[in-house]
Amino acid sequence: MDYQRYEHLEITREGRIVTVTINRPEVKNALNHELHQEFGTIFTDLDLDNSCDVVILTGAAGAFSAGGDIHWIREQCGNLPMNTAAGRTNRRIQASILDLEKPIIAKVRGPAIGLGCSLALFCDFVYATPDATFADPHVAVGLVAGDGGPAIWPQLIGYARARRYLLTGDPIRGAEAAEIGLITEAVPDERLDEVVDAMAKRLASGATYAIRYTKAAINAGLKVTAAAVIDRAAAFENLTQFSNDNRIAVEAFLAKQKPVFTGS
């Protein structure tokens, strides 16, 4: 498989383990249009890569992903063709992660925010430092959580806790995320690489098809839930991209001020 066309995803290989590194360190690996499009195809390419059995997903320079680039979010305000296209790509990303039968391990340092958070949580294993930050703060910028949060958070920690975080956008640290079952394990920073590598090698040396098809069986129910939730969430997010509250939040963020929402 030729990964040369990827500009913002760095693809490396060790044996049958492929590491995908989000590589926009100057903005804490925030997603712009181009990176978003790359995520729309990378998991399908990994599925077709016959020399890959295990995937590690991580971020460069001590950050997993700070979510959507605020300038890209601003471009989408009131732009129907742009935000409709982004919604289609979101659905393609989520579907391709769930369809990939090869196990995916998320290695998280720093922020995993918005779509960055969903990308991590849709993985099969999530190892993070105790001070890593997980959050889906769409509501903080006047948007519906349309990147997969309403599908995955309730499945991991239950509806009551999911509402607590999705309706407020509040962050949760890696240590607490592990305690409540949002992620697999919180690991000290100096051991994170070692722990992730050990699990990747264990999976790569295991019974390949037994592991793949067990993952597929686990994901079967999640795919049904995702199919019911994701299209509705994406459509609602599209609507809120035309709201005054979204515009107010984006302008306030760029001005480094607190938004004053109008409920319109």
Domain CATH number, residue 118: 3.90.226.10
If DSSP codes are grouped into helix, strand and coil, which group holds residue 183? coil
Could you tell me if residue 2 is inside a domain?
no
Instruction: Record the pTM.
Output: 0.97
Could you tell me if residue 43 is inside a domain?
yes
* Domain span at 57: 9-204
Whole-angstrom Cα distance, residue 237 to residue 229?
12
- 33 phi/psi in degrees, rounded to 5: -60, -45
Could you tell me if residue 162 is inside a domain?
yes
Number of domains in the chain: 1
Could you tell me if residue 171 is inside a domain?
yes
If DSSP codes are grouped into helix, strand and coil, which group holds residue 17? strand
Please list the residues that pair with 20 across neighbouring strands. 11, 57
Please list the residues that pair with 186 across neighbouring strands. 128
pLDDT in tens, 15-38: 999 999 999 999 999 999 999 999
Could you tell me if residue 119 is inside a domain?
yes
Could you tell me if residue 247 is inside a domain?
no
pLDDT in tens, 44-101: 999 999 999 999 999 999 999 999 999 999 999 999 889 889 989 999 999 999 999 9
Could you tell me if residue 95 is inside a domain?
yes
